[in-house]
Structure 1
Amino acid sequence: MQQTNKTNKRILFHRQPAHVLLVDFTPPFNNKICANIHSCLEEFFALVCSLAGPPRVPYFSISAIHRYSECLLPLQNVRGNFQQIYNALLELKHLKGDMHEDQSTTSFGQGLRDAVLQFNRQSTHIRQMSGFSTQLEVTVFSCQHVNVIARQIEAAAQSIDLEIIRKIEVVTVYETENGVPLDENDSSQSTDSSEDMATMMDIIQRKFLPNDTLSISDHFKHWLYDCGTDKEYLHLILNDIGSGAMTLKCDIREQILSPSLLPPTASCYNILPELNSFTSGSKKQSASVSVIQLTAIKLVRANGLCESIVFGMPFALQPTLCWKLDWEELDTNQQHFAALCQHLHEKDMVLLTCQNSTTDQPSYAGKTPNPRGHFVILPSEGGSSLLVKPVASKELLLPHGSSNRVDRVVSDAMEAVGSHLEKLEVCDVLNPLYYVSNLHQTLMSQLMKGSQWQQKRKSNNKDQNKPAKVMNVKGRTKGVIMTASLKSGHVTNSSSNGSKANNTRPGYKEAAVSSREFPTEL
């Protein structure tokens, strides 16, 4: 049974590669492109360095490629080093601003060799720190055509250990008004058929990105996904009756980053964050809750709301019954509330709101603005309540897209899955009252175990807390003092032969100090 449980477990984020970024300054690479890369990397690593849990981007290095390869940040830990990463990105931006536009690049091979050399020097340390072996992933950002850069990298393949490289991603950034650049020397493709060259062609991936912050940011956010493929995430069992069940093995792909992994400043993504302060076993009995202010900013069609960006606890809104309001205000508020429900329901709309949007003020004296949460409000049919749910913002959103999509499903697969689905019961309405999660039984079992453990602990403490025994003999006879120590549990004896009673007092005082919980009497 233990072997089965062990084989059915996977380790999260233990196959994350070390990332090396090479930025090519060859024209038409300009200050605008460099500024966009700088801005996206700053925001990306602010997020990465704040995420709790296993490191998703464990190691990072960045180099500028111009007349020679200039390392701006050696390969090092990302977590806890945001200041060093910030300084390196700032140096990248300033370096491009000080450089002439007509400088060409011929040092891709040197940049790749330096990256591999850095990784080899630290591979032992990385393995000792993480407990797992990892690989190197190299990303090249350039304005040259991907084939031009790929040929330069292929030329350096003979002096590189390809076993440690997971992927070399060549990204061409282009201006949208100019379109994707063409490779004018496409006919000069490498004809080397060696085994190393074939391996190099397998690990090189080519990609085109428009010069906008959204596309560049999405590219870096792909680094946040779990790269481990040692074990599947989930088994979806169809028709679990008898031996004819079908099991689909799936991977789980995050759609948004959970705000619970971020510092407490991100509590704005919860409509009532104070509820999270009442954790199990907490002694906190109350909390002061501010009046929440949501400002409507847009109407959204109901069929335009994607479920993948809705997260967190839903709450129902009802017209207030606050006794401090007069009857006329209560009645007017209730009428307006019902009218809003009816309008949204008839128009098939949802209301997009923003928290504290009316209190926005320009930052001054270096003050950082507080984050704001966004929420959607959905109407009910009867007009008696609204449903409010948090939605993801740009910072939390992860890039979509599937890399293993099937273009055409064969008929045999359709028939096999269809036959299993036909055996399942069909219901018109999902009623949660029909489904029990065994939560009550689990909680009662844990509470009973805790109660039994406390009773056993009290019983043990009662036996240990017995007062120290003292034997006192009158006159000039022998006296024995026995003391017990709460911390060590040892019993010590001190005796005096033929001495006066006042001669034993210093020894008693010393024993009493070391065992204050067990006072003795003479």
Structure 2
Amino acid sequence: MPPWWSETSTVLCDALDNFLSLACSLDGPCRIPLLSLYAISRQQECLLPFVQVRGNLARLRSCVEELRSIPNGACIRGTGRAGDLLRQAVLDSLQQFKQFIRHTGARNQACNNESVEITVVTSQPGRSIVHLLEAGLKDADLVSLRRLLVVQICGAGDWGQDAPSPGASENEDAQTGFCVLISADSLTLGMEVDLQQVENSVFAMETVLKAWLQEQGGDREQLHLLLPSPSDNPIPG
């Protein structure tokens, strides 16, 4: 489906590069402690196993350049195959996260509640991708998956397109391509499935990514004031 990887790759990679530069340079509490990235074309490939975001800008940029170099014609043939690869990427990422926590002791550093947010970026009709994910994951153990977001990058004529054209699901020559980004944080557990359409622009994609930096839970301490007691700071007679 248009606009294809040849038209979306530069937009996505430029947005990722800009966003990661910002995320790595922010002071204060780290809003995105860990990040992983999968590319799904004719096969599933983990371009970036879970790494800590802060202090790893060079490695993150190297991963973005690897994503940028994926050939424009590397697409999946058949929606059944696409569903299988998406399911495998989601489950592999959850397993990878559990292993990361177990072997690195990151629990105390960043991931108190051990939850993961997965964002699937595609130019395919978003609702059909949601259906593929729902069907593939209905019997899976998703206890550590807090949120699943499908981001559809739309061309000029694609807005509001919820499903593929008639017969597309049976067309084994239908081609699809995905980028799967997995971020880990310490928000409340429980999964949501969302669909978001954005235009094919760096600014629009950056806006989606910057939402990761916003506080989405109400259980974190935003401001902590320490007031001295009268005995600590007596007022002169």
TM over 0.5: yes
Q: Deviations 1:235-260 (Å, cap 9, x if unpaired)?
A: xxxxxxxxxxxxxxxxxxxxxxxxxx
CA contact (8 A) 1:144 1:181 kept: no
CA contact (8 A) 1:49 1:78 kept: yes
Partner Cα separation in structure 2 for residue 62 and residue 178 of structure 1: 26
- The residue aligned with 1:91 is 66
Query: Does 2:127 match 1:147?
Result: yes
Query: Does 2:5 match 1:30?
Result: yes
Amino acid in structure 2 at the alignment position of 1:225: Q
CA contact (8 A) 1:38 1:89 kept: yes
CA contact (8 A) 2:122 2:152 kept: yes
- The residue aligned with 1:108 is 86
Structure 2's unaligned 5+ residue stretches are 167-190, 224-232
- The residue aligned with 1:224 is 213
Amino acid in structure 2 at the alignment position of 1:219: V
Aligned partner of 2:98 among 120, 134, 142: 120
Aligned partner of 2:147 among 156, 167, 174: 167
Partner Cα separation in structure 1 for residue 122 and residue 111 of structure 2: 35
CA contact (8 A) 1:27 1:103 kept: no
Partner Cα separation in structure 2 for residue 92 and residue 133 of structure 1: 30
Partner Cα separation in structure 2 for residue 50 and residue 225 of structure 1: 16
Equivalent positions of 1:127-146 (< 5 A) are 127-130=107-110, 132-146=112-126
Partner Cα separation in structure 2 for residue 177 and residue 212 of structure 1: 14
Query: Does 2:34 match 1:56?
Result: no
Query: Does 2:180 match 1:207?
Result: no
CA contact (8 A) 2:42 2:74 kept: no
Query: Does 2:60 match 1:82?
Result: no
Amino acid in structure 1 at the alignment position of 2:40: I
CA contact (8 A) 1:29 1:143 kept: yes
2:73 counterpart SS class: coil
Partner Cα separation in structure 1 for residue 93 and residue 74 of structure 2: 26
Aligned partner of 2:20 among 45, 58, 73: 45
Partner Cα separation in structure 2 for residue 27 and residue 175 of structure 1: 7
Aligned partner of 1:183 among 163, 180, 203: 163
Q: Deviations 1:207-262 (Å, cap 9, x if unpaired)?
A: 1111111111111111111233226858xxxxxxxxxxxxxxxxxxxxxxxxxxxx
Amino acid in structure 2 at the alignment position of 1:227: Q
CA contact (8 A) 2:116 2:147 kept: yes
**Deviation of residue 146 (structure 1)?**
1.6
**Deviation of residue 160 (structure 1)?**
2.8
**Deviation of residue 154 (structure 1)?**
1.6
Q: Deviations 1:173-227 (Å, cap 9, x if unpaired)?
A: 11124434341479xxxxxxxxxxxxxxx62111111111111111111111123
Change in Cα spacing, 1:75 to 1:101, as seen in structure 2 (3 Å) is closer
Change in Cα spacing, 1:33 to 1:180, as seen in structure 2 (3 Å) is farther
Partner Cα separation in structure 2 for residue 117 and residue 159 of structure 1: 16
2:195 counterpart SS class: strand
CA contact (8 A) 1:137 1:165 kept: yes
Q: Deviations 1:108-138 (Å, cap 9, x if unpaired)?
A: 1111111111111123332133372231000
Equivalent positions of 1:254-333 (< 5 A) are none
Residue-pair matches, total = 197
Change in Cα spacing, 1:226 to 1:102, as seen in structure 2 (3 Å) is closer
Q: Deviations 1:455-502 (Å, cap 9, x if unpaired)?
A: xxxxxxxxxxxxxxxxxxxxxxxxxxxxxxxxxxxxxxxxxxxxxxxx
Partner Cα separation in structure 1 for residue 160 and residue 74 of structure 2: 21
RMSD: 2.8
CA contact (8 A) 2:38 2:46 kept: yes
CA contact (8 A) 2:33 2:53 kept: yes
Change in Cα spacing, 1:229 to 1:94, as seen in structure 2 (3 Å) is same
CA contact (8 A) 1:27 1:102 kept: no
1:141 counterpart SS class: strand
2:159 counterpart SS class: coil
- The residue aligned with 2:169 is none
Partner Cα separation in structure 1 for residue 87 and residue 142 of structure 2: 14
- The residue aligned with 1:320 is none
- The residue aligned with 2:227 is none
Partner Cα separation in structure 2 for residue 231 and residue 84 of structure 1: 30
CA contact (8 A) 1:142 1:172 kept: yes
CA contact (8 A) 1:41 1:217 kept: yes
- The residue aligned with 1:281 is none
Q: Deviations 1:361-393 (Å, cap 9, x if unpaired)?
A: xxxxxxxxxxxxxxxxxxxxxxxxxxxxxxxxx
Partner Cα separation in structure 1 for residue 49 and residue 149 of structure 2: 19
- The residue aligned with 1:482 is none
- The residue aligned with 1:409 is none
Partner Cα separation in structure 1 for residue 134 and residue 14 of structure 2: 31
CA contact (8 A) 1:126 1:133 kept: no
Task: Give the TM-score, by structure 1 length.
Answer: 0.35
Amino acid in structure 2 at the alignment position of 1:146: G
